[in-house]
Amino acid sequence: MVNRRAVVTGASTGIGEATVRALRAQGWDVVGVARREQRLTALAEETGASAIACDLTDQAAVDALIEELRRSGPVHALVQVAGGARGTDSVEEGSVADWQWMYDANVLATQRLVAGILPLLRKAASSDGHADTVFVTSTAAQTPYPGGAGYNAAKAAEGMLVKVLRQELNGEPIRVVEIAPGMVHTEEFTLNRLGGDSVAAEAVYAGVDEPLLAEDVADVIAYALSAPRRVNLDLVTMRPVAQSAQHLLARGPLHVRTDVD
């Protein structure tokens, strides 16, 4: 039987890195993609994945990535994790540069990647039965919050792209899965969003019992890819227990109420 090969973007840290580990543990061949080559190489050496450095906002770089993938073997799955947030500014004071970055990194990078990789997925599906795509959007794609507009808009747009893609691939043996996490405590996401302010970044998670970990999202991705091929997880929304809704985040230890029977 052919070993299945997955391309995981955002592999240099956070959810993408955890996904590389989870898929390698399940026996997948994995190609990790991100901009920072050194981090990818270290992960590749540790896990037996391979690595291709690529800026997904650069069309020429994505063309080269696709060519390298085509040369190096089949692609049975795309796991698009790369993306992120910049800033928490209001609509009135929104930074066009930050909003542009978010649209480029979350939406246009996804379109570019899908357009390039679909022929490879179809080829693998033709010879090996099916292929898969998984996209990590966000609960920010579903629920607006003050200061979130740039990220809300970008992630909602990415989510719409995914939903349209599923319809456009109807009739083909290619799954399209969307995973929308709430608060995940990764090393860099909030730090980057808040311009490198580590005190402000840690305050976001302060007292939360307990935020999701990158591994939790990676586990769901791994399940989505290993489920029977008839099962398409259209949209998995996952949050920490302490975050009942986007605006409803409990701080302090979770505890059982004692004032009720």
Ligand X SMILES: NC(=O)c1ccc[n+]([C@@H]2O[C@H](COP(=O)([O-])OP(=O)(O)OC[C@H]3O[C@@H](n4cnc5c(N)ncnc54)[C@H](OP(=O)(O)O)[C@@H]3O)[C@@H](O)[C@H]2O)c1
Among 19, 20, 29, 84, binds ligand X (CB under 6 A): 84
Q: Side-chain half-sphere of 99: how many Cα atoms within 13 Å?
A: 15
* Alpha carbons 81 and 48: distance in angstroms, whole number: 20
Under the criterion CB under 6 A, does residue 186 sit at the interface with ligand X? yes
Answer whether 237's CB lies under 8 Å from 139's CB.
Answer: yes
Chain position whose Cβ is nearest to ligand X: 14
Q: Which is nearer to ligand X, 12 or 125 (CB)?
A: 12
Query: Which amino acid type is present at position 141?
Result: A
Question: Tokens 């920010």 map to which residue?
Answer: 140
Compute CA distances 139 → 101, 115, 142, 233, whole Å. 19, 25, 5, 16
Q: Which of residues 8-67 bind ligand X (CB under 6 A)?
A: 9-10, 12-16, 34-36, 54-57
Among 81, 169, 208, 225, binds ligand X (CB under 6 A): 81
Among 183, 201, 220, 249, binds ligand X (CB under 6 A): 183
Q: Which stretch binds ligand X (CB under 6 A): 42-50, 161-169, 186-194, 228-236?
A: 186-194
Annotated catalytic sites, by residue?
A: 151
Task: Show the site string, 220-259: x = touches ligand X by CB under 6 A, - = not.
Answer: ----------------------------------------
> Given phi > 0 = left and psi -120 to 50 = alpha, else beta, which region is 211?
beta
Under the criterion CB under 6 A, does residue 136 sit at the interface with ligand X? yes
Nearest approach in angstroms of CB 98 to ligand X is 13
Compute CA distances 136 → 43, 68, 92, 189, whole Å. 20, 24, 28, 13
Largest CA distance in the chain: 65
Answer whether 24's CB lies under 8 Å from 48's CB.
Answer: yes
Q: Which is nearer to ligand X, 125 or 136 (CB)?
A: 136
Q: Which is nearer to ligand X, 15 or 222 (CB)?
A: 15
List of residues contacting ligand X (CB under 6 A)? 9-10, 12-16, 34-36, 54-57, 81-84, 105, 109, 136, 138, 181, 183-184, 186, 188-189, 192, 214
